[in-house]
Amino acid sequence: MAAVAVAALLILGGASTAFADDTGGGSNYTPRTPTVPTLAGSTASGVCIGDAPWISFSVTMTDPDNVATGHEVRLVLTDGTHTLTIDLGALVNDKLTGKILWPGADVDSSGHGIAWPGWTGTGDHLVPTTGNYAWTRGTHVTATLEVNPSLQVPLSYPAATSACAAPASVPADSAGILPVTGLNVPVIPIAIGGGIVLLAGAGLVLARRRQHS
């Protein structure tokens, strides 16, 4: 019986030693905290393509310990009163890049803009409206990329340029509004006024010629 007891003590002692070795010193063992995933370096920006506003995005998730609980990417826009969530797609190998039309915008089969946020109507009959996601063009809108981590990114509506004016300018309507410069200037009244001035000048020239003749 004594021999059995001694053998049992030796076995238990060896097991305890092995356990202490596996845990790095028993009570002195400190569990390792996994690295928190991050979206640092990800971007979203407003771009103009074919007179249509788009959101171009590049998302990269750094997750060395594979602790993220999801891989679906969303873009959340808010101005404090309105909130809009846009699904961008799923990360593949922790990356996702692409572009999506700005809310309220639309393009034709050729990819040219035919609708813009803050405007309503069809064809050449477009009028400003507070609907159709007009608020997304505001200066106080914030944008956040969300997966499991999240990241607030700077995003603003694309500015008008000579090559891509429609997104930030006034679309043409039946009143003859200039769409290129963004100035709300009636074209037809200017044309009529110019014609009247031209006719008046021509009449004055003829009258002087008759006087000299």
DSSP output for 72-91:
EEEEEEE-SS-EEEEEEEE-
C-alpha torsion 17→18→24→25, nearest 10: -10
Q: Is residue 134 predicted with pLDDT exceeding 90?
A: yes
Count H helices and E strands in the chain, helices first. 2, 11
Q: How many CB atoms lie within 10 A of CB 201?
A: 10
Strand extents, DSSP E, 95-141: 95-101, 106-107, 113-115, 119-122, 125-128
Structure tokens at 62: 């750094």
Structure tokens at 208: 């002087």
Element (H, E) at 200: helix 187-212
pLDDT digits (tens, 9 = 90+) for 195-208: 444 445 555 544 55
Average pLDDT (123-128) is 80
Q: Is residue 33 predicted with pLDDT exceeding 90?
A: no
Q: What is the pLDDT of residue 192?
A: 43
Length of the chain: 213
The answer to whether residues 182 and 170 touch, using CB atoms and an 8 Å cutoff, is: yes
For residue 69, what pLDDT band results from cuts at 50, 70 and 90? confident
Structure tokens at 200: 């008046």
Q: What percent of the chain has pLDDT over 70?
A: 63
Q: What is the pLDDT of residue 30?
A: 74
